[in-house]
Amino acid sequence: MRSVTDAGPAVVTLHLWRVPTRRIAAAVAAVAVDRFAVRRQPGAGFARLLGTGNGRTFRLRDAEPHRWGLLVAWARPADAAAFERSAVPRRWSALAEETWRAELRPLGCRGRWAGRTPFGQGAATRDWGGPVAALTRARLAWRRARSFWRAVPAVAADLAGRPGLLLAVGVGERPVGLQGTFSVWESAAALRSFAYQGAAHAEAIRQTAARGWYAEELFARFAVLNAVGTVDGRDPLRAAPW
């Protein structure tokens, strides 16, 4: 069978589910059970059930208990399609009042997640003219946490007002310490503009190297192949210029 970790996955899926207040407890219970069930799915090389937040400070107050996510790297597109007919997504769809699912193809990746290279370490950049997604994930070095938290609000404000941004969601395996951001952009050029020309983000990159904020970090880019559903009542891709 094709190895996800050696060659990179054929496709990566991200689900976002928004649950009503009365079902938050059931969602928390489902996370505890489903994290093991997803990893046993045929073709699932890497899988993480994720909490979400607004990403403004990456502290506990950012957490959004109404929204949950699932990120999976699949060996084959057929494996991803078969998963949609399984018990886990059916259970979450029953809990949710809103869903969004994106199919992604890795364009480039550097770094590690829990010691692994889930999206193909050093994947070559490929030409892609459509929307792109960016995923950052980091394990915070606790001795550097205070200076990191001071820098986050400026970067978050820069991100929120950036041209070409279609969606941004804070994601993490825990409310504090293991955090990241998933964002969707109308083009690779819009993402590059934020990454390298946004003053606050450029300064954060410099500070990351100088201060050693992270014990582990990963940055990955993806082509957005397809997406269905809504986030906060809107289709994020509908704002894109095509």
Dihedral angle, C-alpha 194, 196, 199, 202, nearest 10 °? 120
pTM of the model: 0.83
Dihedral angle, C-alpha 116, 156, 127, 16, nearest 10 °? 60
Packed helices 199-211 and 145-160: angle between N→C axes, nearest 10 degrees: 160
What are the tens digits of pLDDT across the range 214-234? 668 888 999 999 999 999 999
52 neighbors 141 (Cβ within 8 angstroms): no
* Helix residue spans in the chain (DSSP H): 4-7, 24-39, 77-83, 87-95, 145-160, 188-197, 199-211
Q: In the chain, how long is the greatest CA-to-CA distance?
A: 47
What are the tens digits of pLDDT across the range 201-214? 555 555 454 444 56
What are the tens digits of pLDDT across the range 11-40? 999 999 999 999 999 999 999 899 999 999
CA dist list (Å): 10 to 41, 42, 136, 166: 15, 14, 20, 24
Of 96, 98, 87, the residue nearest 24 (C-alpha): 96
| Backbone phi, psi, residue 89, to 5° | -65, -30
pLDDT score recorded for residue 57: 47
DSSP 8-state class, residue 162: -
* β-bridge mates for residue 232, sequence order: none
Q: The tokens of 32 are what?
A: 């505890």
What are the tens digits of pLDDT across the range 117-170? 999 865 455 678 899 999 988 776 545 555 554 555 555 555 666 788 999 998
3: alpha, beta or left? (left if phi > 0; alpha if psi -120 to 50): beta
Residue 200: helix, strand or coil by DSSP? helix
CATH fold label, 4-226: Alpha-Beta Plaits (3.30.70)
